[in-house]
Homo-oligomer: A and B are copies of this chain.
Amino acid sequence: MGENKLHKIDLEPIGRRVEVPAGTTLLEAAQKAGIDLVASCGGVGICGTCRVRVIQGSVSPVSLTEQEALDADQVAAGFRLACQVYPQSDVRLDIPPESLTSAQKMQVDGREVETALDPAVQPIDLDLPAPHLEDLRSDLDRAGQALAERGFPPLQGSLERLAEVSSTLRTSGWQARLAIQPNAHFSNLVAVYPKSTPLAGVAMDIGSTKLAIYLVDLESGATLARLGAMNPQIAYGEDVVSRIAFANRSPENRRLLQTRLVETINQSIETLCQSSGIRSSQIVDVTAVGNTAMHHLFCGLPVEQLGAAPYVPVVSAPLSFRAGEINLNVAPDAQVFLPANIAGYVGADHVAALLATRSYAADHTTVLVDIGTNTEISLTHQGKVFSCSTASGPAFEGAHIRDGMRAAPGAIERVHLSASDAHISTIAGQPPVGICGSGILTTISEMLAVGAIDARGVINPADRRVRSRNNRNEFILVPAEQTGHGREIVVTRKCINEIQLAKGAIRAGINILLTECGITPADVQDFIIAGAFGTHLDLESALQIGMFPDLPHERFHQVGNAAGVGAKQMLLSRRKRDEAAHIVKNVSYIELTTYNEFTAQFVEAMYLRRGENL
State in angstroms the CA–CA spacing of A326 and B154 once bound together. Answer: 23
Identify A138's interface contact among B140, B160, B163, B315, CB under 8 A.
Answer: B315
Chain B residues, Cβ within 8 Å of A162:
301, 314-315, 319
The chain B residue with its CB closest to the CB of A170 is B305
The chain B residue with its CB closest to the CB of A132 is B310
Question: Is A546 part of the binding interface, using a Cβ–Cβ cutoff of 8 Å?
Answer: no
Q: A310 touching B185 by the CB < 8 A rule?
A: no
Q: B141 touching A305 by the CB < 8 A rule?
A: no
The chain B residue with its CB closest to the CB of A164 is B302
Task: Tell whether A315 pairs with B140 under 8 Å between CB atoms, given A132-B310, A170-B304.
Answer: yes
Q: A314 touching B131 by the CB < 8 A rule?
A: no
Q: B302 touching A166 by the CB < 8 A rule?
A: yes
Q: B159 touching A310 by the CB < 8 A rule?
A: no
Chain B residues, Cβ within 8 Å of A138:
312-317, 341
State in angstroms the CA–CA spacing of A301 and B160 once bound together. Answer: 8
Task: Tell whether A301 pairs with B163 under 8 Å between CB atoms, given A310-B136, A312-B139.
Answer: yes
Task: Tally chain A residues at the interface, Cβ within 8 Å.
Answer: 46
Identify A344's interface contact among B136, B154, B315, CB under 8 A.
Answer: B136
Which positions 121-156 of chain A face chain B at CB distance < 8 Å?
131-133, 136-141, 144, 154
Q: B310 touching A141 by the CB < 8 A rule?
A: no
- When all copies of this chain in the complex are counted, the total is 2
Chain B residues, Cβ within 8 Å of A165:
314
The chain B residue with its CB closest to the CB of A165 is B314
Q: A326 touching B166 by the CB < 8 A rule?
A: no
Q: B325 touching A160 by the CB < 8 A rule?
A: yes
Chain B residues, Cβ within 8 Å of A137:
312, 316
Task: Tell whether A326 pairs with B139 under 8 Å between CB atoms, given A166-B302, A170-B305, A304-B170.
Answer: no
Chain B residues, Cβ within 8 Å of A132:
310
Chain B residues, Cβ within 8 Å of A166:
301-302, 305, 314
Residue among A141, A315, A344 with the highest chain B CB neighbour number at 10 A: A315
Chain B residues, Cβ within 8 Å of A133:
309-310, 594
The chain B residue with its CB closest to the CB of A135 is B310
Question: Is A482 part of the binding interface, using a Cβ–Cβ cutoff of 8 Å?
Answer: no
Question: Is A484 part of the binding interface, using a Cβ–Cβ cutoff of 8 Å?
Answer: no
- Closest chain B CB from A339 CB (angstroms): 14
**Could you list which residues of chain A lie within 8 angstroms of chain B, going by C-beta atoms?**
131-133, 136-141, 144, 154, 158-160, 162-163, 165-167, 170, 184-185, 299-302, 304-305, 309-317, 319, 321-322, 325-326, 341, 343-344, 594
Listed by A's residue number, 5 A-B pairs whose Cβ atoms lie within 8 Å are A133-B310, A140-B315, A140-B316, A165-B314, A170-B305
Q: What would 13 more interface pairs be, CB under 8 Å, given A138-B314, A144-B317?
A: A132-B310, A136-B310, A138-B313, A138-B317, A141-B317, A158-B325, A159-B326, A160-B300, A162-B301, A162-B315, A166-B305, A170-B302, A170-B305
